[in-house]
């Protein structure tokens, strides 16, 4: 086909397909909690080499902002998960300690009921061992005819420091701790 003189020629406008795609992927990244934003950012950065640069620049900005937001979201949720895991480990340790103290105090009260007196520290250590209570973590001490205390060594694993937990009991008015679900 020949061109007739005097008619203007229509030229296709220049486009940057990768820049447009990078912008769209970056924008879609906001709906995926920032997961697609780094991909859109990389596509837009590569597209900055071509012309026109409009969508490539927009994709770079949107991709960078979305990537930062996504990283912050991941950081916050990661910190929350780590905090939850740490708290659950402490809760399990505290629950185990409560069970140990309950078992030890019940055994000492049983000894009191059978013998009519509290055990000596050596006898109490044997009772704790028989109840599978670690005598390196718990100590028995008689504080009266029927009253006694069980002391834990706390987080520093040393007795006689500020973080020790002391629980007082009376063999005459002892009631064991209850664990479990009270629902029927």
Q: Is the residue at 29 inside a domain?
A: yes
**List of long-range contacts for 112-120, beta carbons under 8 Å, 24+ apart:** 112/146, 112/171, 113/171, 117/145, 118/142, 118/145, 118/146, 118/148, 118/171
Residues 100 and 56 in one domain: no
Q: Is the residue at 109 inside a domain?
A: yes
Residues 100 and 159 in one domain: yes
The last residue of a domain, from among 45, 75, 105 = 75
pLDDT digits (tens, 9 = 90+) for 77-95: 999 999 999 888 777 777 7
Residues composing the chain:
184
Structure tokens at 67: 């990537």
Task: Work out how many domains the chain is built from and give that number.
Answer: 2
Q: In this predicted model, which residue has the larger pLDDT, 180 or 140?
A: 140
Residues 70 and 128 in one domain: no
Angle at 63 between CA 61 and CA 69, to 5 degrees: 105
Q: Is the residue at 6 inside a domain?
A: no
Residues 99 and 28 in one domain: no
Residues 105 and 137 in one domain: yes
Q: Is the residue at 180 inside a domain?
A: no
Residues 114 and 68 in one domain: no
- Interatomic CA distance for residues 62 and 40, integer angstroms: 8
Residues 63 and 134 in one domain: no
pLDDT digits (tens, 9 = 90+) for 127-168: 888 888 877 788 888 998 899 998 888 778 788 888 888 888
Domain hosting 50: range is 17-75
Q: Is the pLDDT of residue 183 over 50?
A: no
């Amino acid at each position: 086909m020949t061109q007739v003189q005097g008619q203007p020629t229509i030229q296709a406008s220049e486009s940057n397909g990768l820049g447009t795609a990078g912008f769209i992927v970056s924008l879609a990244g906001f709906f995926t909690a920032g997961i697609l934003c780094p991909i859109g950012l990389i596509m837009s950065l590569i597209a900055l080499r071509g012309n026109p640069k409009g969508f490539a620049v927009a994709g770079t900005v949107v991709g960078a902002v979305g990537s930062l937001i996504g990283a912050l979201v991941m950081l916050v949720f990661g910190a929350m998960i780590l905090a939850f895991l740490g708290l659950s480990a402490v809760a399990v340790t505290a629950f185990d300690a409560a069970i140990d103290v309950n078992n030890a105090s019940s055994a000492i009260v049983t000894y009191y009921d059978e013998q009519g007196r509290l055990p000596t520290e050596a006898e109490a250590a044997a009772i704790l061992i028989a109840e599978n209570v670690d005598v390196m973590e718990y100590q028995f001490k008689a504080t009266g005819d029927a009253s006694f205390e069980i002391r834990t060594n706390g987080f520093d694993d040393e007795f006689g420091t500020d973080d020790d937990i002391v629980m007082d009991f009376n063999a005459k008015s002892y009631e064991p701790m209850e664990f479990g679900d009270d629902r029927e």
